[in-house]
Chain A
Amino acid sequence: MGKTLLDKVWEEHTVRTLPDGRTQLLIGTHLIHEVTSPQAFGMVRDLGLKVLYPNRTFATVDHIVPTDQRQEPFSDPLADAMVKELRKNCAESGVTFFDLPSGNQGIVHIVGPEQGITQPGTTIACGDSHTSTHGAFGAIAFGIGTSQVRDVLATQTMAIGKPKVRRINVDGKLAPGVYAKDVILHIIRKLGVNGGIGYAYEYGGSTFDAFTQEERMTVCNMSIEGGARVGYVNPDETTFEYLRGRPYSPKGAEWDAAVDRWKAVASDKDAVYDDIVNFKAEEILPTVTWGITPGQAIFIDEAIPNPDALPEKDRATAAEAIEHMRLPAGTPAAGIRIDVAFLGSCTNGRLSDLQEVAKHIKGRKVASSVKAIVVPGSQGVAAVAEKMGLAEIFREAGFEWRGAGCSMCLGMNPDKLVGDQLCASSSNRNFKGRQGSPTGRTMLMSPLMVAAAALTGEVSDARKVFGIN
């Protein structure tokens, strides 16, 4: 009987079965950041233990870092204390820190892949739920809580049950103006925000075969929003080419040996899945979320649903969403006025996201009613974008060009919504209060849809705004 990639990686990384039946799973690569690590380091010290494998642990600062005025001390003393605490912990334990002065700082799920640290056939854990992003490389990667960060620091393992696997096929060709972000928003809309609980999502089909690594990362990133802690794509030539020559990628003879292993770790053709779901690429249109969970999504040509028309289990949350968003049922997606446009985050803060938008907005202007910011996902992405002239295109159009960090995705740094501002965002969560204001409102969409909203001042069909067909 054939094995899935999950089976193969799980087997190879199983240290033993614990008394409670879960696996003591070896975590090959541990990524850490300033929010979920300080208490963990403290707990390790309290236990009289040390970081077991500092050379398999990599740190960056992303959640609390300002995207402008980044000189230290930061204006927020709590944020300043957190970066200094991480710096101290890394120095004491010998952990590599992609710190602000390094030129390689950025959002952890953008830094790992661009450094070549994220590799097929590995297990990766990080105290952040969007760790699922790294599954795009055929790694088994998942978010963990602070106590588990402690476990991984001290033992390089954690206790975890093996998930089932749902194979999600997307076949066909995406229509022009429809992107990877639309694909994952559509999948979550259909399968639900809790559909993936207990499952790893294995994404495949011709659409995924054709995706770039960055597109695969966008999809895997939001697996957790569908309830699936793990989401992955089988590694292939696209994966290997992305990794070739990166700082932490194997080189020379080691590279060839690694590629052979990476090819072998992909799911077998006769692998058995716990569930299989099929989607046709052609049926996916530009998608926006309208409510307070990532699953409350509609196509750009649809309207906010009437709760009574929804399945019973979705009605209460839909009514709550309508009240919070102050958008009545029946409001068409197109035409909703926005106040803020945010292009960035671990979902869509990569070079290809910036390139695609810059290509279309060149020569055009952000609406005077909109505050628009572009936050490159890492200092590396920023440097290349600047060299390519993308930063200049954004500035010319009226976007603020910022430094790398999580920024407005979550309200932990100065980039926050004010009052009930409505933000067109390329991030991954639209929960109440997510973007820093309790009454703030978020609509998730693809980078180009964010740009279309920024230019027109309202949620718009980017295909019409930019003449794409």
Chain B
Amino acid sequence: MALEKITQVTGRGVYVPGDDIDTDRIIPARFMKCVTFDGLGEFAFADAKAAEKAAGRIHPLDDSRFIGATVLISGSNFGCGSSREHAPQALYRYGFRAIIAESFAEIFFGNSTTLGIPCVKMSKQDISDLAALIERTPSIQVTVDLTENKVSTDDVDFRAVISIPGHAREPLMNGRWDSIADLVDGLGDVKSRVAAIPYLSGK
């Protein structure tokens, strides 16, 4: 199956500050009562947005300056909590195509990669600098470059090192970021492994 080769993502950015932003915040559970993922996009960060509004503030995702951003920027341990794929699905359907954070929770990272969303780690200082740049000039284009492991912007000479494990980076760049094709390729070996394990082969 032919998937897009993702070597870089370029788009406007939006900074959602905070550490330990969990999957319940990214997509509250009540929106998960569905049998498909259709329509999930509009509910990303629904409660966080409502809470900001109630407090007389504007959540970055409701801020008209950042509407249309495709690069999400956040803090450490982003996506912690549940294994729900609904979280990256909601973000993808909201329009995000890459996520930059100080660090990612493991299951969220795996789920996002499987959907073709590069999740790259950047230092706290660089995130802070990039957020300030975006605040000053919301229209700048942020480029997440997997080939050179860097994030840069047009307009200003910003350049930061990013990191992403090879087992995510290479499949994204080679268009094999959804592992189902590789797994199906191994089906012959699956059956012989099953036969060799007593609790599975009934021996």
* Selected contact of A161 from candidates B47, B81, B167, CB within 8 Å: B167
Taking the closest CB of chain B, its distance from the CB of A45, in whole angstroms, is 12
Given contacts A15-B186, A431-B81, contact A151 B25 (CB under 8 A): no
Given contacts A24-B182, A24-B183, is CB(A313)–CB(B105) below 8 Å? no
B28 and A411 form a contact (CB under 8 A): yes
Proximity string of chain B (160-171) to chain A, C-beta cutoff 8 Å, 1 when within and 0 when not: 000001111011
For the complex, is A56 an interface residue (Cβ under 8 Å from B)?
A: yes
The one of A53, A121, A194 in contact with B76, judged by C-beta atoms closer than 8 angstroms, is A194
Q: Classify chain A: how many residues form its interface, as a range.
A: 35 or more
| Complex contacts, B200 vs chain A, CB 8 Å | 26, 28, 56
Q: Are B80 and A193 in contact (CB under 8 A)?
A: yes
Q: Does B138 contact A (CB under 8 A)?
A: no
- Partner among A24, A119, A143 whose Cβ is within 8 Å of the Cβ of B199: A119
Q: Please give the number of chain B residues whose Cβ is less than 8 angstroms from any Cβ of chain A in the complex.
A: 63
Q: Which of B129-146 contact A (CB under 8 A)?
A: none
Contacting residues, chain A, for B197 (C-beta < 8 A): 12-13, 26, 28
Instruction: Verify B199–A121 contact, CB threshold 8 A.
Output: yes
Chain B residue with Cβ nearest A194: B77
The distance in angstroms between the C-alpha atoms of A64 and B30, with both chains bound, is: 10
| Contact partners of A28 in chain B: CB under 8 A | 197, 199-200
Interface positions, chain B 30-67, Cβ under 8 Å from A, are 30, 32-37, 47-48, 50-51
A1 at the interface (CB under 8 A from B): no
A22 with B107: CB separation less than 8 A: no
**Which residue of chain B has the shortest Cβ distance to A22 in the bound complex?**
B167
Q: Are A317 and B20 also in contact (CB < 8 A) when A15-B186, A129-B83, A412-B29 are?
A: yes
Residue A67 CB within 8 A of the other chain: no
Chain B residues positioned under 8 Å from A131 (CB to CB): 83
Docked complex Cα distance between A161 and B165 (Å): 11
- Residues 88-115 of chain B, each 1 if its beta carbon lies under 8 Å from chain A, else 0: 1100000000000001011100110011
Give complex CA distance A273, B179 in Å: 29
Residues of B within 8 A of A432 (CB): 22, 24-25, 47-48, 51
Give Cα A28 to B195, complex, Å: 12
B84 and A433 within 8 A (CB): no
Residues of A within 8 A of B48 (CB): 432
Question: B35: which of A82, A227, A258 is its contact (CB, 8 Å)?
Answer: A82
Nearest residue (CB) in B for A129 is B83
Residue of chain B at shortest CB distance from A323: B55
- Tell me which of B20, B107, B168, B190 contacts A15 (CB under 8 A): B190
Residues of A within 8 A of B82 (CB): 128-129, 143
Question: Quick check: A145 and B180 within 8 Å, CB to CB?
Answer: no
Question: Which residues of chain B come closer than 8 Å to A35, judged between CB atoms?
Answer: 32-33, 84
Chain B residues whose C-beta falls within 8 Å of the C-beta of A15 in the assembled complex: 186, 189-190, 193
Q: Which chain B residues have a beta carbon within 8 Å of chain A's beta carbons?
A: 17-20, 22, 24-25, 28-30, 32-37, 47-48, 50-51, 75-77, 80-86, 88-89, 103, 105-107, 110-111, 114-115, 165-168, 170-171, 176, 178-180, 182-184, 186-187, 189-190, 193-194, 197-200
* Known interface pairs A122-B199, A145-B84, A150-B180; 16 further A-B residue pairs with C-beta atoms within 8 A, sorted by A's residue number: A15-B190, A20-B167, A24-B186, A52-B190, A145-B111, A145-B114, A147-B180, A151-B180, A154-B183, A155-B187, A156-B190, A157-B183, A159-B182, A227-B80, A432-B22, A432-B25
